[in-house]
Amino acid sequence: MAQLSPILKQATPVVVDHGEGAYLYDTSGRRHLDFTAGIGVTSTGHCHPKVVQAAQEQVGKLIHGQYTTVMHRPLLELSERLGEVLPSGLDSLFFANSGSEAVEAALRLARQATGRPNVVVFQGGFHGRTVAAASMTTSGTRFGAGISPLMAGVHVAPFPHAYHYGWDEKTATDFALRELDYLFATQTAPQETAAFFVEPMLGEGGYVPANSEFMAGLRRRADEHGILLVMDEIQTGFGRTGKFWGHEHFDVHPDVVLIAKGLASGFPLSGIAASRDLMGKAWPGSQGGTYGGNAVACAAALATLEVIREENLVDNAAARGRQLLDGARAVGDKTPGIGDVRGMGLLVGSEFVTADGAPDNATAQAVQKKAAEKGLLLLTCGAYMNVVRMIPPLVVTSEQIDEALDIWGEVVASVAR
Ligand code: PMP
């Protein structure tokens, strides 16, 4: 009998039978409060009836209309609808399946459109696991270990991770921008730099929000040197941060936005958005793929957008996010072993540290495991995997946040210092 490869490492032992809203039900019938949402994917909750209905109807009409062969209605409609929510001027879309593919698509676009070879990424950023995306990932050596040589042409500048540096936000931001200028002087000349790839908040890198001054600094340098500002909204998009896009918190206008995860409520669908002018600079026909823009995934994405609007999920993410952050901070305040609690909207991380302030991976893992035993599913992140993160669906209720915080408080008190 064949088995799943140990290449896959699972965070919990749960074998799911079905999901509904914020809950997963395992094969023994036990209910779990899912504050992982499939790593920030099932924003409308598991199996939202409208998403299910849209997908079921589409399955009966057309499952796969290969998009370099024929065009289909869900893809055309989705492009139109996304135009209503994307930043102004980003009116041209290309679709793929995974976040990593969107990152690679943007890399191709940036290199072809500018004719420049290099990109700058920011320390702690995560952009995916395919080799180019892994080459641009610095949230942990584990993502690139053992697969070298990685892609050349990637340069890494600091992210304003104030807690990590032990500085205030302003000092960390000044440092990050100064080092970026130094990088231009020492590693990749601006005229050889095609793009900045940045997340509005480090996701896998430990749930660290950027800030307006940092983003303004990137925008200024991008404008000055003709560098593209590529915003990786794969984890932060579609209302997750309490605004539709994570970068809206920082009042910055990107040249390219990367989308995936929350876009289609669990169907594999990703994309990149840019201006028609910029997309027109890529080589025509240079991108494609067998499955990109799958008809069922697009129908699910259309339903997802409708649900986000009808149920005011962006506002709910903001309100429930505040409740979650406040509650997690209250637990953090009375726990010396939690050094920092931070986040935006429904992305909240608690960083575990030892008495001397070093990353405490063991306690974070123990807390995550114990929470799962008590019916609360969580994930860890950060370079040292010492940040426990909460990513409930956007449909989460106030009662479910309280339920999670009760378990969290109890588990932290029993496991951490
Ligand atoms: N970018 C960001 C910001 C992500 O969070 C992720 C996935 N966690 C990716 C890219 C890669 O997406 P995928 O796993 O779908 O390839």
Residue 126 Cβ inside 6 Å of ligand 1? The answer reads yes
Distance between CA atoms of 156 and 179, rounded to whole angstroms? Answer: 10
Is the Cα dihedral 363, 366, 370, 375 positive or negative? positive
Ligand 1, atom 10, lies closest to the CA of: 127
* pLDDT-based confidence at residue 220 (cuts at 50, 70, 90): very high
Residue 305 Cβ inside 6 Å of ligand 1? The answer reads no
Residue 130 Cβ inside 6 Å of ligand 1? The answer reads no
- Counting from 1 in the atom list of ligand 1, the atom nearest the Cα of 130 is 16
* pLDDT-based confidence at residue 35 (cuts at 50, 70, 90): very high
Q: Alpha-carbon dihedral of residues 67, 73, 78, 79, nearest 10 degrees?
A: 60
Residue 379 Cβ inside 6 Å of ligand 1? The answer reads no
Q: Which residues pair with 229 in a beta bridge?
A: 196
Select from 310, 305, 296 the least CA-distant residue to 73.
296
* pLDDT-based confidence at residue 388 (cuts at 50, 70, 90): very high
- The pLDDT value recorded for residue 385 is 97
- Is residue 229 helix, strand or coil? strand
Residue 260 Cβ inside 6 Å of ligand 1? The answer reads yes
Distance between CA atoms of 299 and 319, rounded to whole angstroms? Answer: 28
Fold of 16-34+312-415: Aspartate Aminotransferase, domain 1 (3.90.1150)
Tell me how far the alpha carbon of residue 184 lies from the centroid of ligand 1, in angstroms.
Answer: 27
Is residue 203 a contact partner of residue 166, using CB atoms and an 8 Å limit? no
- The pLDDT value recorded for residue 80 is 98
Q: Which residue of 42, 122, 234 sits with most ligand 1 atoms within 8 Å of its CB, as the best mutation to test the pocket?
A: 234
Q: What are phi and psi of 19, to 5 degrees?
A: -130, 150
List, for residues 102-123, the tens digit of each pLDDT value.
999 999 999 999 999 999 999 9
Tell me how far the alpha carbon of residue 234 lies from the centroid of ligand 1, in angstroms.
Answer: 6
Please state the pTM of the whole predicted model.
0.98
Fold of 51-310: Aspartate Aminotransferase; domain 2 (3.40.640)
Evaluate if residue 339 carries a pLDDT over 90. yes
16-34+312-415 and 51-310 in the same fold: no
- The pLDDT value recorded for residue 417 is 84
Q: What are phi and psi of 245, to 5 degrees?
A: -115, 145
List, for residues 254-296, the tens digit of each pLDDT value.
999 999 999 999 999 999 999 999 999 999 999 999 999 999 9
Tell me how far the alpha carbon of residue 127 lies from the centroid of ligand 1, in angstroms.
Answer: 5
Q: Where are the domains of the chain?
A: 16-34+312-415, 51-310
